[in-house]
Structure 1
Amino acid sequence: MRVAPPTAPAESAAQPDPNADGAPPEANSADELGDEFSGDWIRADRSLSWIRRLGPLLRRQRARIVVAVIAAILATGAGAIAPWIAGLAVDAAVLGLEGAGSSSLWAFVIALVGLGVARGIFTYAYRYGLFSMGHRVEFQLRTLLFSHLSRLSFAFYDRVQTGEIISRSNSDIRSVQMYLAFAPIVSVQLLSFVVAIAVMAWISLPLTAITMLIMPAVYVLGQRLRRIMFPLSWIIQSRNAEVATVTHESVNGVRVVKAFAAEARQVEEMARATQRLRWANMLQHNTRAHYTPVVENLPNLAMAMVLLVGGHLIIGDSLSVGNLATFYLYILLLQAPFRFIGMLFIFGQRAKASAERIFQVLDEPVLVADRPGAVDLPQREGSHGGPSGMEVRFDGVRFAYGTETVGGVAGTASADSDAPLVFDGLDLHIGAGERVAVVGRTGCGKSTLARLLMRFYSLGSGTISVDGHDVNALTGDSLRRAVGLVPDEPFLFSASIHDNIAYARPDAARSDVVAAATAAQAHDFISELDEGYDTVVGERGYDLSGGQRQRIAIARAILADPAVLILDDATSSIDVAHEAKIHEALTELLAERTTIVIAHRLSTISLADRVILLDGGRVAADGTHAELMATEPRYVEVLAAGGDTSDPDRFATADGTPGSSGSW
């Protein structure tokens, strides 16, 4: 589902968690990061304008803004005085030519040079200050957005495309940054406009009145341009997100694209997306081409009329040549604001559209967050020196995907929607240190069980507890340190193998990493690589085989040393010989841990002492493998569907013990 403009946004979550991390460029420690990004950064009231919602963030830059504005005022003052001095110089020169006497022009030359130097220094100061402020706001806004994204539940990512997030994190934030840096500069230009009009009125009210005749036209054109540019800016940013999405999917899915010889189809999809973007951009540029020249050239029309009337005034001795020259220079000075005013309207509307798209994400509620007063899950040490296993309990759990929230970035199903229930009153008890296999048909909720236990989604109703503690009353960090997961589709970062294995423990010694890799049967193939554990894997680890990626993921979980380990079909891509060795190593490592094995084949079930069959959103059967084989036909059907054999009877011998297809 593509992210659309908001209609009924959810309750705001724009006020960041006081513990949210971010960092100024000079910050190095974790404490500095937390201190820098504590407090309210964005106003949550969505009735406010976008610039007022950014007020708390901008206040953090007030010192730079004040200094830059003062420098800009001084630069504007220097620029505004120059035409007046130039006019005096012209009058002095005319008087000299007429023999009426005049003072030396050197004083005027020195004054103009001095003003030029001063204006250059102050211009550098205010432009550097404003763009420094803009880039700092960009950095802080980008970090704030990323911090908020890291706290959103899986439900958000299930319905929002990656390209949309990338677009809002990059081009939308850049549009806001450009406007924040550019708008004060234009505002200062408008200050020079006011100064120029005041001096012009002092010189000649009739000529000033002629000049001001163009202002109503400028206002009308500006308002019309603003109304046109806002929806266009929104469309352009949305089309940019489309292109980013197609690019991301085509690159990440390049293996599927090539496997089905669909390169031409992806090129056509990209062409359609870029064509839509081109159309929106061309419409915007066409609008600019119509309005900007008119706005910019209105001062030229005023200039022609001023020269005509001013010439008659000079002939009638009502105006001096120097005064007309000063007037002419001030009209030229007015052209800069007129040139920039069109750009200001365009940048402003694009920034407004971009800010609202950013606020859509920041207003997305954090559905799975630590409650006030949440406590850390107490750890129990086992006899082996690592954490002891913990009791896991599901009581009356009801859950359906797509029912977690209403509104938001893309909109989700409401709480009373017809989304099918994955769990409908699930009751399950797993004792501390017990090894349990969870089996069932595809879609019965095996993986959902792990996701809810780790609190990746908000629970509909019922309770889930670990060691007697409701998971909703625990801090997420402590819960996920205690519960480790090896997913069926392991993700590897574009980093070294050592760093991938040590992801949960970045400070782990190489010896610990090697020990974990050895237990996961990964050490041998890692050692054969040119750079061993320092080998940098490609994006998502696709330069390794599926089995190798799974073994690294298992090593990562082993090194994390959790009290509860969830193996979600974690050996599905590993050959039988390596799988048997991994099971042998895991049997010893999991001696005192609670282990949940999400299984699809007998070789994986062999790790467990007890088997749970899920069906209809509940526990359909519970017992040993032999007991279920003898009493539960649905269990036999599930194993047969797993592909181990087409003959369910082969799973057990005459006395009910596991057959040759399992390694027990």
Structure 2
Amino acid sequence: MNKTYPPPSAAIDPDPSRSWLWRAWPLVRAHRWMFSAALVMSGASMLVVVQVPRLIQDAVDNSIVSDRVPLSHYMWWLVGMSVIMLVVGYLSKQLLFRAAARIEYDLRNIVYEHLTAMSFPFYDRMQSGQLISRANSDIRAVQMYLAFAPYLLVQSGISLVSFAYMLAIDVPLAILAMLPMPLMFVASRRMQRSLFPVSWLIQARLADVATVVDENVNGVRVVKSFAAERSQLASLQKAATSVAWANVKDADLRARWTPLVQNLPRVGMAIVLLYGGYLVIHGELGVGAILAFNAYLLMLQVPFQVIGNLIMLGQRSSAAAKRLYEVLDEKPEIADAPDAREITGPRGDVRFDDVTFGYGDGLDVLKGFSLQLRPGETVALVGRTGTGKSTAARLLPRFYDVRAGSVSVDGHDVRDLTLRSLRDTVGVVLDEPFLFSASVRDNIAYGRPDADFTDIERVARLAGAHEFITELSEGYDTVIGERGYTLSGGQRQRIAIARTLLLNPPVLVLDDATSAIDVQVEQEIHAGLRSLFAGRTTLIVAHRLSTISLADRVVLLDGGRIVADGTHKELLASTPLYAEVLAQADETIEELGSVGR
């Protein structure tokens, strides 16, 4: 049984003209009560902390210098304050980390939902490693700043309270202690401007490393078959060297500016010791007061000690957020029209009407392609490689939109139908089946997680998969490896066919779906496929004569156009190109077979 999880509490502000923080603000606002409670408790803890120097001042003046009050009196006050700080600090951190976890949950769900809504053209131009990096390290960088920057700012508020107490002790001394602060502000601004481009570069180059790793993990069989480990390692080293260079540059800038930002307040401490000491020597200021003043000055340094890290975190988060927004601001090219309708009672009447299509800005793959599949008819698309057979199969479920012309189901242009109802109507088995790292049962039931086992077994038998599944170590409960690579190509294709058949779609597209299946096994499953095609509109992208024999009609493509249409016997007798295409396909199959032997 699949668990359901709550949706994100808020969404990113869609206005790209706003700052990255303002766009992310709805996420913080969604958890404002938890955040507010954490910050209030943090502020309360801070207010207790600033009382400690004042208590020490009174202890020195009243218990040590004049012996008017027992020292134990102040000791118990310090113990009580410590207990308060312990409890309040615990609650503050507990709430803060809970809020941080919820922000991260929201961000990850927002990004994942957006990625699932994106169209095939988006994934054609984006590298998976780049997307993985943005969905992991970039999200974490943004979450860290959104959650912990407010906490650090509240903690930095201790400087204002400390300065107020310093003014209460001695106004001229407090003003002298603050003289280095304007210089510190200028240095902080220079540090911020220097760190931003480097932070962006680090995030981008981390994504490059993720891309190299992702491609090598997913393509490990290709890498090993070509003994290309050393060259791939060199590629990774090159990408890692770029990251190292950017990190060294970042460290260089931080080493240059952070000590200056953190140590400028110590100039104020030197001034306090010089002038404050003069006041104590001349009896104008008590010993306890100068001790308290120095303690407050140390507290005043806390914000400046963290400001370097806060600036660095802010710049890295800004770069990460803008990289995330680059993805989130992308609009799906294939989306439901505002007035999209559902398909009701689909009959399976499919029509391609003068279709022209090409990928991206490339040349047209299909040119004036027109074809009708009548309800219940099985049609095979045949042609040389690159003639547009698979492209036509991808246009029917609207993986891509046509440049000109139209594709329709039951008289409705697919662009006027909801994607969900269209893809419920049109089932697709691709030539490169993707299986998940889950059990065989779960892979077959992917489209219907609540399907009965009897239905799962029935479609597995129709697809010719039941026999080999029962021979696996745990049968249908056997967990297959990532992408299904623990199975043969033919076994993966049969599971993919079963997965689609379980949905019982009125229109079925088999994009060379039996290419990796042994010819003898293919013959065995043909009986099941023939019974399955009965009453179902089926488009088959085919190369093998055995697969073509399943079709009622054969359509020959060349140069993106239909050049012949008829039965296998009619085309064989009337169209020399058809016989030539079949001969080339047979030669290819024989060559592959000899390589396999």
Give the alignment's TM-score, normalised by structure 2: 0.95
Amino acid at match of 2:305: R
Q: How does 1:197-596 map to 2 (within 5 A)?
A: 197-380=163-346, 389-403=347-361, 419-596=362-539
Alignment: residue pair count = 589
CA distance in 1: counterparts of 2:576 and 2:181, whole angstroms: 86
Tell me if the contact between 1:155 and 1:457 (Cα under 8 Å) persists in the aligned partners.
Answer: yes
| Structure 2 residue 22 is the aligned partner of structure 1 residue 56 | no
Deviation at 1:109, TM superposition (A): 2.1
Alignment partner of 2:50: what SS?
A: helix
CA distance in 2: counterparts of 1:371 and 1:58, whole angstroms: 32
Deviation at 1:112, TM superposition (A): 2.3
Amino acid at match of 1:153: S
Tell me if the contact between 1:399 and 1:461 (Cα under 8 Å) persists in the aligned partners.
Answer: yes
Deviation at 1:315, TM superposition (A): 1.4
| Structure 2 residue 152 is the aligned partner of structure 1 residue 186 | yes
| Structure 2 residue 564 is the aligned partner of structure 1 residue 621 | yes
Deviation at 1:88, TM superposition (A): 1.5
In the alignment, what sits opposite 1:143?
Answer: 109
More helix by share: 2
Alignment partner of 1:177: what SS?
A: helix
Amino acid at match of 1:62: R
Alignment partner of 1:612: what SS?
A: strand
Deviation at 1:29, TM superposition (A): 6.3
Alignment partner of 2:337: what SS?
A: coil
| Structure 2 residue 576 is the aligned partner of structure 1 residue 633 | yes
Tell me if the contact between 2:181 and 2:265 (Cα under 8 Å) persists in the aligned partners.
Answer: no
Deviation at 1:216, TM superposition (A): 1.5
Alignment partner of 2:380: what SS?
A: strand
Point out the more displaced range, 444-453 or 369-378: 369-378
CA distance in 1: counterparts of 2:564 and 2:8, whole angstroms: 50
Q: 1:470 to 1:127 in 2, by over 3 A?
A: same
CA distance in 1: counterparts of 2:54 and 2:371, whole angstroms: 87
Pairing partner for 2:63 from 84, 93, 114:
93
CA distance in 2: counterparts of 1:291 and 1:189, whole angstroms: 22
Amino acid at match of 1:297: N
CA distance in 1: counterparts of 2:3 and 2:500, whole angstroms: 27
Deviation at 1:452, TM superposition (A): 1.2
User: 5+ residue gaps in structure 1?
Assistant: 1-27, 381-388, 404-418, 648-664
Amino acid at match of 1:61: H
CA distance in 1: counterparts of 2:588 and 2:105, whole angstroms: 57
Amino acid at match of 2:17: S
Tell me if the contact between 2:14 and 2:329 (Cα under 8 Å) persists in the aligned partners.
Answer: yes
In the alignment, what sits opposite 1:657?
Answer: none
Give the alignment's TM-score, normalised by structure 1: 0.86
CA deviations over 1:371-427 (Å, ceiling 9, x no partner): 2232221135xxxxxxxx511011122221114xxxxxxxxxxxxxxx201122222
Alignment partner of 1:241: what SS?
A: helix
In the alignment, what sits opposite 1:79?
Answer: 49
Deviation at 1:127, TM superposition (A): 2.1
CA deviations over 1:188-246 (Å, ceiling 9, x no partner): 12211111111111211222122111111211111111111111111111111111111
User: 5+ residue gaps in structure 2?
Assistant: 591-597
Q: 1:247 to 1:630 in 2, by over 3 A?
A: same
Deviation at 1:120, TM superposition (A): 2.2
CA distance in 1: counterparts of 2:318 and 2:99, whole angstroms: 18
In the alignment, what sits opposite 1:406?
Answer: none
CA distance in 2: counterparts of 1:231 and 1:458, whole angstroms: 38
In the alignment, what sits opposite 1:8?
Answer: none
Tell me if the contact between 1:434 and 1:609 (Cα under 8 Å) persists in the aligned partners.
Answer: yes
CA deviations over 1:335-373 (Å, ceiling 9, x no partner): 221111100000000100001111111000011111223
Q: Percent identity?
A: 51
CA distance in 1: counterparts of 2:80 and 2:155, whole angstroms: 21
